Structure 1
């Protein structure tokens, strides 16, 4: 018998494994079907290692090591796929990590929406069927100064339904320098094509003038479209047409002006050291007919696409059959209303909305939290890693303000027994994963995006990885 065959015969069978797992307390709540599936996967991995002439490790349940590996494999296999993580990357609105966090008041609203019946589409005054959009429309209009509002499931959907309503089978004129690509290789021209609008590019990549729009207008023009380039910037010899000029042209020609603001902020963030960006209120006040922006970026709310503008146009959009396909659910409505109510008092919004809290946090406050974290890490893990306090730059993220940094402080981790990339990999596999960023052969934990209540969880994850690396 060959050595390979001998090793294959030593692999325990399914029943022996299940009997061994029966006494493990941590597995008691896991359904038998899931235990069998995970055990089958684990045993097959052992077989493949042997067949590929690789070291399979322990193969005997009696030795204990194999059972420990199997228990760990089952726990990983049964772990929820959608999980909370610690964002130590320094990117506040991190698209891959769920974008904006919601405040407690919004979470309370979500719990109420999911655990109780609601007036989602029931008018409490008339006792008849109502509109879900009316639940937040008045609030949005009060804050933005718009005549009417509508909310769909994201900003790409907002742009799609606006263009489909106003420019299907017609031309949509847009500056060449504003044909941006957003996350997931999703491009503005692609959205326009799906809407049925015909793209008409005007100007050059870096400079567009009013005359470019004037010369492009025809009887087939449906909208004049402006796209805020929040996820990139052209610097140097540049020029673009102001809202006031574009609105005047639209009024003269009877053509609606639409602006996609992308992230869209309801608060002027320049007070926190960022460059001045137009707020939604300012764009509405400039006379733009329709404005679209995201709910889960600078607004700090749930995923949504918010449409505001002239009453007559928004009513057309509401009546578009696409609206049914793109509508938001009760959870988005509940969370969004809760967030918007905070904006009735700007100081309250800054104090309670996590996205705004992180942007507004003074660098001295971040440094103080970083120093406390450094002390705790040195006490628990000082023998396995070197920890240094370093000045870094955070980013707003979410495609917003790409050239603007926020001063911050981070813990730079240099492991002594494994590589920084291996440390980063191991931290991602913890029960509460930690997402840092690798720079200069060190792993950085940027404390601007690590919340106070997450410090102990961060410490536990690092300690677990360091302890594991010491054992091996």
Structure 2
């Protein structure tokens, strides 16, 4: 059957493609905001993140479609991709720095028990109510009972919002208008420019410095202690070490001066630890005669940020009833996390501190082999981890790491799952001591995701 040519078309020539759709037609295909918000995925995001943030992401996605950067059909997914995982600006990271208590990363990671306790305490709780009698009860009584159970040498305990606050409360309640006797070798800077002398003077106390930078004897304290002395202060110089011709007075040598001896151990170690033989602990200091010990809860204790005050019942009672205590008190979430830390299973900090070098090396070799099979330039390497957070200065912990080309450091920090490592000898090291074994697969996937970006920067 003979085919007739189509008018306007030369014989046998292929048909011309349809003209491109005018931009106005493309804009008409962009989904409306109300329609997008009915998308089940975006509706769920509204419940999780709030309508304002979701609408802002929708508008950004629509603007990209109007500019021709994406087709209209991609607007819903683009809006979802623009949304953060949580309503907070804080992003969870994997700490592969080799610093167990990294201040810039929030120090101690809470245990699963503590995280669960925080979730359960997020709603109404009996934080100050006796459910049996229906009357007001002591705030945080179960957390304080747990702290006393772990620290029987302390006759009483009180909790404030951080370690520095614990020392400020002690100085305000016990030494305002009086002298605090302290060794010159213990006048430390605690980080970010905050200096202990400035902190103590702000409370209205006067500092009476004794001894020298490297040597202070019990006689130096005795020579100046008198009616104007609020207390003698011993501070653990937790972020530096002085070696050589040194002398410092022990707590037991100062208990006969007739004034309280307050010891700031800083790092939050409650009892001696075999891996940290030179790190002071609260139990030892109290048994040596300290009237009061102050410490941080988010360091070696492995709990939430808080300050611990442990010691004589009369002193702790005076601190707890001081007007400043109200301004420094902790919320129900901190109390819940602290109690679960004290009564629950070993914390991530405790597990990282006691991780065996052989197990760490085996993990590094397994991960390196899996990543190398994907063509990534990686190898297992020995490493040296530290405690950090102002604890155990000079102490290194044998560890193992993944060694990658240097460009991986920035690529991993900015990836979908941020990983923070460290640079050493021109390589990016991902130290595994502070990385829980259950995060190994996430770490490997983060390395794979960072590969293209890292190789592009090489």
Q: In which range does the TM-score fall when normalised by the shorter chain?
A: 0.7 to 0.9
Q: Does structure 2 retain, via aligned residues, the 8 Å contact 1:17–1:61?
A: no
Report the CA distance between 1:138 and its aligned residue.
Answer: 3.1
Q: Distance in 2 between matches of 1:17 and 1:294?
A: 58
Aligned residue in 2 for 1:85 = 93
Select the residue among 96, 103, 112 that pairs with 1:104: 112
Aligned residue in 2 for 1:424 = 409
Report the CA distance between 1:432 and its aligned residue.
Answer: 1.3
Report the CA distance between 1:202 and its aligned residue.
Answer: 1.1
Matched, 1:405 2:412: no
Aligned residue in 2 for 1:56 = none
Select the residue among 190, 205, 212 that pairs with 1:182: 190
Q: Distance in 2 between matches of 1:137 and 1:62?
A: 57
Q: Does structure 2 retain, via aligned residues, the 8 Å contact 1:161–1:323?
A: yes
Aligned residue in 1 for 2:358 = 364
Q: Distance in 2 between matches of 1:355 and 1:431?
A: 25
> Cα–Cα, structure 1 residues 285 and 35, in superposed 2: closer, same or farther, change >3 Å?
closer
2:128 partner SS: coil
Report the CA distance between 1:126 and its aligned residue.
Answer: 4.2
**Following TM superposition, where does structure 1 have runs of at least 4 consecutive aligned residues deviating by more than 3 angstroms?**
15-44, 66-80, 124-127, 467-472
Aligned residue in 2 for 1:262 = 266
> Cα–Cα, structure 1 residues 288 and 424, in superposed 2: closer, same or farther, change >3 Å?
same
**CA deviation map 1:159-214 (0-9, x unaligned):** 01010000011111110111111132222112202211111111111111122112
Residues 391-470 of structure 1 mapped to structure 2, 5 A cutoff? 391-414=382-405, 420-421=406-407, 423-468=408-453
> Cα–Cα, structure 1 residues 364 and 267, in superposed 2: closer, same or farther, change >3 Å?
farther
Aligned residue in 2 for 1:151 = 159
Matched, 1:301 2:300: no
Q: Does structure 1 retain, via aligned residues, the 8 Å contact 2:42–2:80?
A: no
Q: Distance in 2 between matches of 1:25 and 1:378?
A: 40
Report the CA distance between 1:256 and its aligned residue.
Answer: 1.3
Matched, 1:131 2:138: yes
> Cα–Cα, structure 1 residues 28 and 138, in superposed 2: closer, same or farther, change >3 Å?
closer
Q: Does structure 1 retain, via aligned residues, the 8 Å contact 2:31–2:75?
A: no
Task: Identify unmatched segments of 5+ residues in structure 2.
Answer: 1-22
Report the CA distance between 1:232 and its aligned residue.
Answer: 1.2
**CA deviation map 1:344-390 (0-9, x unaligned):** xxxxx5xx21111111111111111111111121123x2xx411211
Residues 52-91 of structure 1 mapped to structure 2, 5 A cutoff? 60-61=68-69, 74-75=82-83, 80-91=88-99
**Aligned Cα root-mean-square deviation (Å):** 3.3
Q: Distance in 1 between matches of 2:145 and 2:41?
A: 51
> Cα–Cα, structure 1 residues 394 and 16, in superposed 2: closer, same or farther, change >3 Å?
farther
Q: Does structure 1 retain, via aligned residues, the 8 Å contact 2:264–2:294?
A: yes
Aligned residue in 1 for 2:3 = none
> Cα–Cα, structure 1 residues 428 and 233, in superposed 2: closer, same or farther, change >3 Å?
same
Higher Cα Rg, which structure = 2
Aligned residue in 2 for 1:346 = none
1:259 partner SS: strand
More helix by share: 1
Q: Does structure 2 retain, via aligned residues, the 8 Å contact 1:38–1:77?
A: no
Q: Distance in 2 between matches of 1:440 and 1:266?
A: 37
Q: Distance in 2 between matches of 1:79 and 1:466?
A: 29
2:100 partner SS: strand
1:118 partner SS: coil
Aligned residue in 1 for 2:336 = 334
Q: Distance in 2 between matches of 1:34 and 1:110?
A: 25
Report the CA distance between 1:449 and its aligned residue.
Answer: 1.4
Q: Does structure 2 retain, via aligned residues, the 8 Å contact 1:389–1:412?
A: yes
Q: Distance in 1 between matches of 2:267 and 2:108?
A: 11
Report the CA distance between 1:136 and its aligned residue.
Answer: 2.7
- Select between 352-361 and 29-38 the one with higher mean Cα deviation: 29-38
Task: Identify unmatched segments of 5+ residues in structure 1.
Answer: 1-10, 47-58, 343-348, 415-419
**CA deviation map 1:397-441 (0-9, x unaligned):** 111011000001111102xxxxx24x2222111121000101111
Report the CA distance between 1:221 and its aligned residue.
Answer: 1.4
1:201 partner SS: strand
Matched, 1:225 2:216: no
